[in-house]
Amino acid sequence: MNYLGKIRARSAQASSHYASYSSGKSRAPKRVLVTGGAGFLGSHLCETLLAAGHQVICLDNFSTGMRRNIAHLKGVDRFNAVAHDIVQPLDLEVDEIYNLACPASPPHYQADPVHTTKTCVLGSLNLLELAARTGARILQASTSEVYGDPNVHPQVESYWGNVNSFGPRSCYDEGKRCAETLFFDFHNTHGVEIKIIRIFNTYGPRMRPDDGRVVSNFIVQALTGQDITIYGDGSQTRSFCFVDDLIGGMVRMMASPSSLTGPVNLGNPGEFTIRELAEQVIGLTGSRSQIIHRPLPVDDPRQRRPDISLAMQELDWRPKIDLSSGLRQTIDYFDGLLTRPARELEAV
Ligand code: NAD
Ligand code: UDP
């Protein structure tokens, strides 16, 4: 499907996201800043916002994001891409800010841990200052990692978490926790309208083949006939949400009444062991790859599943796409990507 076809399909989806949650005023086109807009989630969000008629400024330092994720949007006159690192201050006129800028995959956020903390903390500070100056509403893409290796299962928003302050995951976990603190302090002391979502493992088309997270790793390994690398014995669990479901929840949160600050969990409550995920990927791809085991990373959470009662109640949101249909779409994406000539990929 070409971009116009896609935008029409997304338009129907986006209007249903907005219809019951927006007042007449908030449905008017807005200038929306999406930080991390060239990333996996950010590029889908930019598409959905354009389909809803908004002007979108996609800001990214292109560290883990890819120019090809937004290449198809370049011809749209309401879309602008800006290269910028949110660690540096910025000044723009905007009505809404979605802060998604931050590497999300463990190998990527651990590659330069100091910069990850700076992105979470200084980046959030810069964007909150922008929100305070412009009066923009601001949404923070927080994470289930704020619960650490949880002792409460499933995880509810009222749970404070079990986080190591100096392990390899801490730059991300503690950075995101501090960002939540900053959001609430700007809300309480400067009246900034904030929205915090805690995203649980989300997957889908436009993840990088070298992203390093489990879904993309297993699919790429299965499609290329490499061994499938289970870390540890594979009994640890995760709950996997398909990207379209997640973006729907994100825009609903942004359009919700001012009184709803969050944090609100967004994720799919279906819970699977990593071994079950590997078996599903092998089954769906028909791959002959073998499963092998690698050491479990330090501080790897044992179990994770969102309690989404709050999102269901306040946003009338719940995921609709089950793991096998989401995996099929993601497999199709990687299959197409891996068979395209390298030259063609470099060109975008
Ligand atoms: P991603 O790595 O694909 O996207 C992150 C984007 O942010 C990339 O385009 C990257 O280039 C950009 N970026 C990173 N640091 C930046 C900086 N300092 N300045 C400007 N741009 C910067 O990851 P994603 O999965 O799309 O995640 C998007 C957001 O959602 C992240 O904030 C992440 O923490 C959050 N999140 C995602 C998940 C998930 O499962 N996908 C789960 C929890 C939270
Ligand atoms: N994992 C795995 N093999 C891989 C990549 C990840 O077994 O090739 C495991 C990882 O140890 C973790 C789970 O899959 O237990 C989810 O990892 P991911 O990096 O996707 O996300 P996170 O740990 O941040 O939830």
pLDDT tens per residue, range 80-139: 999 999 999 999 999 999 999 999 999 999 999 999 999 999 999 999 999 999 999 999
Report the pLDDT value the prediction gives residue 19, as an integer from 0 to 100: 44
Q: Is 172 a catalytic residue?
A: yes
164 found inside a domain: yes
Q: How far is the CA of 114 from the centre of ligand 2 (A)?
A: 22
165 found inside a domain: yes
In the predicted model, what is the mean pLDDT of residues 43-48? 98
Identify the weakest region by mean pLDDT among 14-28, 180-194, 195-209, 271-285. Answer: 14-28
221 found inside a domain: no
Q: Assess whether pLDDT exceeds 70 at residue 22.
A: no
Report the pLDDT value the prediction gives residue 1, as an integer from 0 to 100: 45
Ligand 1: nearest atom to the Cα of 87: 18
28 found inside a domain: yes
Confidence of residue 9 (pLDDT cuts 50, 70, 90): low
Confidence of residue 18 (pLDDT cuts 50, 70, 90): very low
Nearest CA to ligand 2 atom 13: 214
94 found inside a domain: yes
Catalytic residue from among 172, 203, 231, 333: 172
Written in H, E and C, the secondary structure of the chain is CCHHHHHHHHHHHHHHHHHCCCCCCCCCCCEEEEECCCCHHHHHHHHHHHHCCCEEEEEECCCCCCHHHCHHHCCCCCEEEEECCCCCCCCCCCCEEEECCCCCCHHHHHHCHHHHHHHHHHHHHHHHHHHHHHCCEEEEEEEHHHHECCCCCCECCCCCCECCCCCCCHHHHHHHHHHHHHHHHHHHHHCCCEEEEEECCEECCCCCCCCCCHHHHHHHHHHHCCCEEEECCCCCEEECEEHHHHHHHHHHHHCCCCCCCCCEEECCCCEEEHHHHHHHHHHHHCCCCCEEEECCCCCCCCCCCECCHHHHHHHCCCCCCCHHHHHHHHHHHHHHHHHCCHHHHHHC
Query: Using a 6 Å cutoff on CB, does residue 39 contact ligand 1?
Result: yes
Confidence of residue 25 (pLDDT cuts 50, 70, 90): very low
Nearest CA to ligand 1 atom 6: 36
Ligand 1: nearest atom to the Cα of 86: 19
Query: Using a 6 Å cutoff on CB, does residue 67 contact ligand 1?
Result: no
Confidence of residue 340 (pLDDT cuts 50, 70, 90): confident
Nearest CA to ligand 2 atom 19: 213
Domain that holds residue 39: 3-203+242-268+305-320
Q: Assess whether pLDDT exceeds 50 at residue 4.
A: no
> In angstroms, what CA-CA distances link 5 with 10, 58, 70, 250?
9, 21, 16, 23
Q: What is the dihedral of CA 188, 144, 303, 293, to 10 degrees?
A: -150
90 found inside a domain: yes
Match 């978490």 to its residue by tokens. Answer: 161
Q: How far is the CA of 232 from the centre of ligand 2 (A)?
A: 10
Nearest CA to ligand 1 atom 23: 104
Report the pLDDT value the prediction gives residue 13, as an integer from 0 to 100: 54
Nearest CA to ligand 2 atom 25: 201
133 found inside a domain: yes
Per the structure, the count of domains in the chain is 1
Q: Assess whether pLDDT exceeds 90 at residue 8.
A: no
**222-268 pLDDT, tens digit each:** 999 999 999 999 999 999 999 999 999 999 999 999 999 999 999 99
Nearest CA to ligand 2 atom 6: 214
Q: How far is the CA of 39 from the centre of ligand 1 (A)?
A: 6
Query: Using a 6 Å cutoff on CB, does residue 87 contact ligand 1?
Result: yes
Q: How far is the CA of 24 from the centre of ligand 1 (A)?
A: 31
Which ligand has the minimum distance to the alpha carbon of residue 227?
A: 2
- 213 in Cβ contact with 203 (< 8 Å): yes
Q: What is the mean pLDDT of the chain?
A: 93
235 found inside a domain: no
Q: How far is the CA of 286 from the centre of ligand 1 (A)?
A: 31
Half-sphere exposure (Cβ direction) of 324: Cα atoms closer than 13 Å: 7
Q: Percent of the chain beyond pLDDT 70?
A: 90
Match 């800006």 to its residue by tokens. Answer: 82
Confidence of residue 28 (pLDDT cuts 50, 70, 90): confident
CA distance 294 to 54: 46
Q: How far is the CA of 214 from the centre of ligand 2 (A)?
A: 5
Q: Assess whether pLDDT exceeds 80 at residue 221.
A: yes
Looking up residue 58, the CATH number of its domain turns out to be 3.40.50.720
Give residue ranges with CB within 6 A of ligand 2.
106, 201, 213-214, 217, 229-231, 236, 238, 274, 297, 300
Query: Using a 6 Å cutoff on CB, does residue 237 contact ligand 1?
Result: no
Higher per-residue pLDDT: 14 or 95: 95
